[in-house]
Structure 1
């Protein structure tokens, strides 16, 4: 089964992001981003036997309980040209520290097929990704550059998401301890 670990946004932000994802579907036939709730990926997708899920949950629960809630700011949009458009996450030392600590905890454990990420951590909330056609990028990007967006929320948990062969669903969420 495919899994990943993320901070899932609260419903109000998910609803706003969903509107943008629907715009991308209607205008540019982008559907892939609609298959997951709005989130900030901490550990990218990895394949793991479903039987290992309780074990990773047993590791994530105390990890999350040792974390402190923190605020996450969102402002406007950015892109990984020519395929990805996303709501931009403002620089956040607490978020970066959480990701680094989570990755280190999973790698030290050694029982889960998580790999050290080669790319630098670049938190974002995806609106359109791999099914955005290169020729559609410029008009889609022009649309989002004209929108002024500012939002924030408190990160209160991490979630283990699981792919059910159609879409990503939250398998379990692990609340922060304080």
Structure 2
């Protein structure tokens, strides 16, 4: 399993891990603690491990065509779909990030034959705080607190990350520098 993401700086990442830990301690869901803080650009997919080098090389070339940019986090949100409970930190909309996502999706479809179901154009950038093991009753207790809770952070994105699941956790397989400088 692989996926493509943006990672916050170490400082912001530590703040997000602290938020996840506090949420887990107060409400119970622990699964999100297993996943490093990130903004998903391409949802997890399976691929032949023999393609790893090609993915790394091509993503590095793709990243060179993208300029570094700022990401702003502000407050908390959730998806309207009650079947799939997720509580997250909002990522403020940015045309730069949206354009990068569109170009990445087109790139994956063209270079690696990703289907429209796998490489989706719909994009709601967010940083997950709780999901998978977040039960309705836990969500219903937490959401009134988080709905208006304040949190703000800004970080510069200089890299795109290609991650692989090693059977236990996600690890960075390739760090691709934006702008190629």
Separation in 2, partners of 1:49, 1:110: 12
- Which residue of structure 2 lines up, in the alignment, with residue 63 of structure 1? 62
Runs of 4+ in 1 over 4 A off after TM superposition: 111-114
- Which residue of structure 1 lines up, in the alignment, with residue 147 of structure 2? 145
State whether residues 157 and 175 of structure 1, in contact with CA within 8 Å, keep that contact through their aligned partners in structure 2. yes
Spell out the pairing of 1:1-178 with structure 2 (5 A cutoff): 2-81=1-80, 82=82, 83-111=85-113, 115-117=118-120, 120-177=122-179
State whether residues 48 and 113 of structure 1, in contact with CA within 8 Å, keep that contact through their aligned partners in structure 2. no
RMSD of aligned C-alpha atoms?
1.7
Deviation of 1:111 (Å): 4.9
The alignment of Structure 1 onto Structure 2 pairs a total of residues equal to: 176
Report the secondary structure of 1:136's partner residue.
helix
Deviation of 1:24 (Å): 2.4
Moved more, 77-86 or 7-16: 77-86
The TM-score, its normalising length taken from structure 1, stands at: 0.92
Deviation of 1:142 (Å): 2.0
Deviations 1:67-100 (A, max 9, x none): 1011111110111254111110111000000011
Separation in 2, partners of 1:108, 1:19: 39
State whether residues 56 and 112 of structure 1, in contact with CA within 8 Å, keep that contact through their aligned partners in structure 2. no
State whether residues 3 and 45 of structure 1, in contact with CA within 8 Å, keep that contact through their aligned partners in structure 2. yes
